[in-house]
């Protein structure tokens, strides 16, 4: 029997001039990425064995400063500039599953300590310290057919 594998490719973009915000990526309980989000585009890849079990990918944004270093607000409370890390694309093997990832993920954050911890829909940008969680089963192509 052949050991089937799936390759995940996550592409992020940091359009700011700040490179001090940290990003972690976890596959189940294994940390597969833990670095400051470099300015520009960067990728995280991970290969997993298909095993008919439930799994998760968790993306954690941390170290965003709540004292207006990363987010500039005017006197009326409007955001003038902000540091966002954007998940631009998600590929599994040769398939672009970005939209499916967005629709099946949630973003857990507290608006950088300005609100209670809540689940939010996820659309790509991460601007608050918190976690994006994506749950799925393997083999991935079967999960994909059931969720598109």
Token pair for residue 131?
């976690």
Q: What is the reported pLDDT for 1? A: 42
Q: What is the DSSP letter of 19?
A: -
CATH number for the domain harbouring residue 36: 2.60.60.40
| pLDDT given at position 105 | 97
In order of 21, 38, 50, 122, 129, the CA distances from 70 in angstroms are 9, 15, 40, 20, 12
> d(Cα 147, Cα 23) in Å, to the nearest integer?
27
pTM recorded for the entire structure: 0.90
Residue 13 sits in which domain range? 5-147
Tell me if residue 111 falls in helix, strand or coil.
Answer: coil
**Average pLDDT per 10 consecutive residues for the chain, totaling 148 residues:** 79 87 94 92 92 92 79 84 92 94 95 81 94 93 88
Q: Total structural domains in the chain?
A: 1
Q: Please check whether residue 124 is in contact with residue 89, taking contact to mean a CB–CB distance below 8 angstroms.
A: no
Please give the Cα distance from 123 to 104 (Å, whole number). 10
């Amino acid at each position: 029997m052949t050991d089937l594998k799936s390759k995940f490719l996550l592409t992020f973009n940091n359009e700011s001039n700040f490179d001090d915000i940290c990003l972690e990526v976890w596959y189940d309980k294994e940390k597969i990425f833990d670095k400051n989000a470099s300015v520009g585009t960067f990728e995280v890849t991970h290969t997993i064995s298909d095993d008919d079990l439930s799994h998760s990918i968790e993306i954690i944004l941390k170290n965003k400063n709540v004292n207006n270093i990363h987010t500039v607000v005017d006197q009326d409370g409007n955001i003038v500039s902000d540091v966002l890390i954007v998940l631009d694309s998600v590929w599994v093997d040769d398939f672009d599953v970005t939209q499916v990832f967005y629709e099946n993920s949630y973003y857990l954050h507290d608006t950088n300590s300005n609100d209670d911890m809540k689940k939010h829909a996820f659309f790509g940008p991460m601007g608050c310290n918190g976690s994006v969680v994506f749950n799925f089963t393997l083999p991935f192509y079967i999960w994909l057919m059931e969720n598109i």
